Copies of this chain bind each other. A is one copy, B any other.
Amino acid sequence: MEKASLLQLRIFDLNCWGIRYISKLQQERVELIGDVLNQEGFDLVLLQEVWSEKDYWELKKKLCTCYPSSYYFKSGVIGSGVCVFSKHQILDTFQHQYSVNGYPYMFQHGDWFGGKSVGLVVLKIKGIVFNIYVTHLHAEYSREKDYYLSHRVVQAWELAQFIQHTCKGADVVLLGGDLNMHPEDVVVRLLQGWVGLQDSFITAEKVEGCEDGCTLVPANCFTNKKELQCFPQGIRIDYILYKGLSQYEIRCNSHETTTGKAPNKDIPYSDHEAVMVTLSVAKKQSDEELNHPAVAPTVVDILNEARMEVRVGLHSAERQRYSCGRMAVLALLLLLIQGAMGLTSILGGNIQQPFPKFSFSLLSLLAVLVLLISAVLYLFHTIEVRMLQGTEEEMRLGLQTLQDKLSSG
């Protein structure tokens, strides 16, 4: 039986690639995005990589009539890059920063400086409470040698747990953003399996745009073609996932992506394609009420797989911590030896100084620098080890509770 839809929601999601002075045609693209959002009048706009708050404020000014409510999630050194524009009033917000997020010394990747997090905004439309989550997980860079996989798995686990624990008061849950993972990857399966989110691309009644819903495609003039060598038709890493809670159920009417260019324009919005989704919310029939859906045994496998990735990351973090500690000890030893030598030459003034003073002090400079940097990195990797251990422990507990449920059910 066709159920009467209570409301329809049109959502726009885009990774904007908004690095001022570095991203190509950045100003033009921000203006273009603003123009299109005003024309189209979505209910909800979820943006990532709006790295400059100036860009956010410009967009806010431009969109204030059509999208009177908006929020930028501040985080890290340069912001989280994540913001939301909404036609409906934002009632409440909350942010959870991920406990691991790459390395500050990987300047060329820069994710650490962005302070990746998940932002939650709460809306109430026609009495229905919407919990909207926006996020941007750590980038992949290399699929063969993915040094950040364990960090991304921890982020996905925290995202999943954050949604699980904060969504109980909501009627509709919606997650949008750049997960930096392919649909078959453990991160995406974890969000689907553990939280019970549905993928709008899979469930949509009508799909338009790039093949397989890809959001990084070779047709886009800004994409790095080398990254897509193994994936000639592109990859899908931007998602809109959802679930209905309590007595509501959600249908995905349509899922659309741009196809390498903004409609009727010569340039794309970004190096990612935009995802546009229409959802309709309907009331469940009372006999369909399933507040506690059965837990699928596959979730155990997914969680075990995720836990394995965290363990791999833990070993690597422990190795890095050990290297930093050893380096710090060596630098300290060198400094002590130098100190002793300096003291000897001062006290026993007659003894011939074996090294020229200049190289001697240059060596001290080096030792002090190495000591300082490796000590700071030792602390950093200690925190990383602890957070990975904590996640592994949380997952272990999650698995145990899940298995208890499965064996009792």
- What would 14 more interface pairs be, CB under 8 Å, given A72-B393, A74-B386, A168-B168? A74-B389, A75-B386, A92-B398, A92-B401, A94-B394, A97-B97, A97-B99, A115-B383, A166-B166, A168-B170, A358-B361, A361-B362, A369-B369, A369-B372
Could you give, for residues 369-393 of chain A, a 1 whenever the CB lies within 8 Å of some chain B CB and a 0 otherwise? Answer: 1001100100100110011011001
User: Is A382 in contact with B74, judged by CB distance below 8 angstroms?
Assistant: no
Could you give, for residues 390-409 of chain A, a 1 whenever the CB lies within 8 Å of some chain B CB and a 0 otherwise? Answer: 10011001100100000000
Q: How far is A14 from B365 in the complex, measured between Cα atoms in Å? A: 47
A91 near B: Cβ within 8 Å?
Answer: yes
Q: How far is A309 from B91 in the complex, measured between Cα atoms in Å? A: 23
In the complex, which residues 84-110 of chain A have their Cβ closer than 8 Å to any Cβ of chain B? 90-97, 99
Q: How far is A93 from B157 in the complex, measured between Cα atoms in Å? A: 12
Q: Which chain B positions have C-beta within 8 A of A75?
A: 99, 386-387, 390
Q: Which chain B positions have C-beta within 8 A of A390?
A: 73-75, 95
User: Is A77 in contact with B368, judged by CB distance below 8 angstroms?
Assistant: no
Number of interface residues of A (CB under 8 A): 50
Query: How often does this chain occur in the complex, in copies?
Result: 2
Q: How far is A361 from B168 in the complex, measured between Cα atoms in Å? A: 63
Q: How far is A96 from B98 in the complex, measured between Cα atoms in Å? A: 9
Q: How far is A77 from B380 in the complex, measured between Cα atoms in Å? A: 8
A120 near B: Cβ within 8 Å?
Answer: yes
Question: In the complex, which of the residues B79, B90, B357, B394 contacts A93, with contact meaning CB atoms closer than 8 Å?
Answer: B394
Q: How far is A149 from B401 in the complex, measured between Cα atoms in Å? A: 39
Question: In the complex, which of the residues B90, B97, B369, B389 contacts A397, with contact meaning CB atoms closer than 8 Å?
Answer: B90
Q: Which chain B positions have C-beta within 8 A of A196?
A: none
User: Is B387 in contact with A74, judged by CB distance below 8 angstroms?
Assistant: yes
Known A-B contacts A92-B401, A372-B372, A398-B92; A379 and B169 likewise in contact (beta carbons under 8 Å): no
In the complex, which residues 15-67 of chain A have their Cβ closer than 8 Å to any Cβ of chain B? none
Q: Which chain B positions have C-beta within 8 A of A387?
A: 74-75
In the complex, which residues 325-357 of chain A have their Cβ closer than 8 Å to any Cβ of chain B? 357
A248 near B: Cβ within 8 Å?
Answer: no
A148 near B: Cβ within 8 Å?
Answer: no
User: Is A76 in contact with B383, judged by CB distance below 8 angstroms?
Assistant: yes
